[in-house]
Structure 1
């Protein structure tokens, strides 16, 4: 191969799209940080009204094609045209699934490695957003069609529960690697100030699967027992009008405050001034808002569902609502525990330590390592997709590696001193537990 590596990151939207969310942040951080390594990166996506068709930001070339649904065939046509153009081929593709992937292997040479990124399984959500016939098509594309299309390639997931979901709900039997979301240093804002009344925050996109009605019902039940309680709902989306109507119908004026879109600094200030961050989502790939709250020292109450059960460490950085739990009772229990002498500071410290484990630079480096090893191997696949802790003689540190990175490391020069399977949390964090952490039982 001559010249720099050429990578296509294909995602439904870009980070400046009006409906952008966590998936767009993930794709953008991967793209721009990989470009910093000298890779030629193209971010191929849909085009919102007013956006330019071509752009270049932070060393990443943007190509915007089509709208909500037409972007899928147009991306395939664009890749096909480049396939037959001199110097137009890609060395690897990151194909991001937002309900359904782009099926890029249909337009690529067989030896081009493809990583299909799955944030969370959408099978149940298709029925929330679409009529039955369209939901059935969505489930077929996400399941059987994807299994056949990516059979020579690999999935990348952002959390252990998403890994379980693609195995159990999508029946995917191919290799899966874990590359989690990162997080930023939080803005410098003041923490909670005692008001004598519970202060709750919820950072969320206003879409159906976030179950905003359930959030408002929770606030109404708590307000009856805690006069002066405030719930700050931060975020925008198509359910904004329904949220306003729900507040009106439940008589929650002065209790639930819909802030809409706010700046990052205002968002951080509202969360930092809260006792708890609350999520009523029915499922996430991860839970970026939970980690952002934890970085500010604020624990979360969330449902014990995919993604959130990984982002929240139950009774350590927050509380999970199980299938037999009443959400209001879990919030009451959390508030009572936070009122114990010294307990709030202890939980805040653990929240910050947990959030500090996630960093966009490390996330991008893990993905870039997978991509570069796959290009050298000619495939993103592997015969053994376990994550393993590997220590070779002469290495200063143990490494948690998987897929083509692990295969290359074990086949390389130098005697291997230790190989063991990584624990679930080690795989998520991308590092082995230290001796001290193992002795204390930390991170498990």
Structure 2
């Protein structure tokens, strides 16, 4: 492998921590992994305050942008691509990294790469058109995908996909064959006990389509039958008030905990030996929550999403439920609680650590 210090990668993205989200955490962890290996890393993201600073080895540049639309997405100001091209040329960037086809900064990143004649590596996190939105928003998002999104996917030098389903979506939308680059986690931060318990966990946004309602339905059955069992909802979102209202009248409400957002050590403690319920109906990428659960020694009951299918093929502690009704979910959960499970082998868990994925990304850089 060549000297990583030869490379200077610019991540050009809409959002970056402290904003919370799976994509933001992916970019954050990958940037840190590359910087630790000796690669020079600059992150360019939109934010309220412009300016740059060093974030433990990663130079972060925040650009002024339009106000958020629907609290989700904003646009760079006119002339951003030209100004950014001059800046990145001056600091000696060698590669451009963009993430998810529909973000405005992905288009900017590809344009900058073409202007500077640099290789661009686009990572696709989506596995389908946007779901769980109004018909109007759905139609608009498809239009964006079939114009700007298709441009990003077809123009990038290399396209990576965080799951097999994302790979298939890239093929469907652009006709290109993407290289699978699975999501990853900090395995050490989530390593937990092999001891099983009567804890049920929902970990994710409390929003339409994520499945908190089904998780609560499973919890009602399990908690009524098992006096020592508990249910934990970790996350926040637009429907948190609806969740809390549904919990309030239950006779075992004191054993149902709505935590909101928690830090990794707290999540690890709750996940350790628990059963994670993942009834999502959204177009998921490669959910790191499932990797975190397996790392913590938890079992998983999930819909047929890419990460669950991948894990279920490797370890028996992950169960995929295809039926869209409460009964099979309750049955699968009860079976795990009654029979227990064998945690995933340590070498398998280690395979989805960011240290491994960082080396894979370095290999991609070497190809250009």
TM range (shorter): 0.7 to 0.9
Cα 1:155–1:140, aligned 2, differ >3 Å: closer, same or farther? Answer: farther
User: Secondary structure at 1:16's aligned position in 2?
Assistant: coil
| Residue equivalent to 1:6 | 8
Distance 2:188 2:129 in 1: 34
Contact 2:84 2:112 in 1 (8 A): no
Aligned to 1:373: 367
1:173 aligned partner? 175
Range with greater deviation from structure 2 (308-317 or 8-17): 308-317
Matched residues in 2 for 1:187 and 1:97: separation? 26
- The Cα offsets for residues 208-229 of structure 1, whole Å up to 9 and x where unpaired, read as 3312223223323444544553
Is the CA contact 1:181–1:358 (under 8 Å) kept in the aligned structure 2? yes
Which piece of structure 1 moves more, 155-164 or 31-40? 31-40
| 1:146 Cα offset (Å) | 2.0
Aligned to 1:214: 214
Provide the residue aligned with 1:97 in structure 2: 100
Report what 1:58 is aligned to. 56
1: distance between equivalents of 2:214 and 2:102? 24
Answer yes or no: is the 8 Å Cα contact 2:321–2:328 preserved in 1.
Answer: no
Query: Partner of 1:432 in structure 2?
Result: none
TM-score for the superposition, normalised by structure 1: 0.70
Q: Cα distance, 1:303 vs. partner?
A: 0.3
Does the aligned pair in 1 maintain the 2:215–2:279 contact within 8 Å? yes
Q: In 2, distance between residues paired with 1:327 and 1:356?
A: 33
Distance in 1 between residues matched to 2:277 and 2:233, nearest whole Å: 9
User: 5 Å matches for 1:220-259?
Assistant: 220-248=220-248, 253-259=253-259
Check the 8 A contact 2:113/2:119 in 1, yes or no: no
Gap change, CA 1:312 and 1:143, over 3 Å in 2: farther
Aligned match of 1:114:
120
What SS class does the counterpart of residue 209 from structure 2 fall into? helix
**Structure 2 counterpart of 1:15:** 17
Q: For 2:147 and 2:35, how far apart are their aligned partners in 1?
A: 34
Match runs of 1:387-402 below 5 Å: none
- Quick check: 1:295–1:351 contact (8 Å CA) kept in 2? no
CA distance in 1, matches of 2:137, 2:332: 42
Q: CA RMSD in A?
A: 3.0
Look up the match of 1:137: 140
What count of residue pairs does the alignment treat as equivalent?
A: 352
Give a deviation string over 1:189-246, Cα, whole Å, max 9, x none: 555465xxx3211221333331222322332344454455321111233432232123
CA distance in 2, matches of 1:120, 1:352: 29
Distance 1:245 1:122 in 2: 32
Distance 1:328 1:228, change over 3 A: farther
Q: For residue 255 of structure 1, report the CA deviation from its aligned partner.
A: 4.3
Preserved contact between residue 77 and residue 107 of structure 1 (Cα < 8 Å): no
Indicate the SS of the match to 1:120: coil
Deviation at 1:124, TM superposition (A): 3.6
From 168, 177, 181, the equivalent of 1:164 is 168
Deviation for aligned residue 1:363: 0.9
State the SS of the aligned residue for 2:175: coil
Matched, 1:332 2:334: no
Distance 1:257 1:115, change over 3 A: same
- The residue number in structure 2 matching 1:383 is none
Q: What is the CA deviation profile of residues 76-97 of structure 1, one whole-angstrom value per residue up to 9, with x for unaligned ones?
A: 8333214246625642211111
> TM-score, normalization: structure 2?
0.83
Please tell me whether the aligned partners of residues 159 and 310 of structure 1 are also in contact (alpha carbons under 8 angstroms): no
Distance in 2, Cα, partners of 1:185 & 1:223:
31
Q: Deviations over 1:232-282 (max 9, x none)?
A: 1112334322321232366662343111122322221111142x1111122
Q: Is the 8 A contact 1:186 1:268 kept in 2?
A: yes
CA 1:310–1:53: 2 relative to 1, 3 Å: farther
Q: 1:355 to 1:244 in 2, by over 3 A?
A: same
Shift of 1:157: 0.9
Residue range with higher mean Cα deviation, 354-363 or 80-89? 80-89
Cα gap change, 1:167 to 1:63, in 2 (>3 Å): same
Structure 1 unaligned blocks of 5 or more: 375-444
Higher relative contact order (CA 8 A, sep 6+): 2
Change (3 A) 1:328 1:256: farther
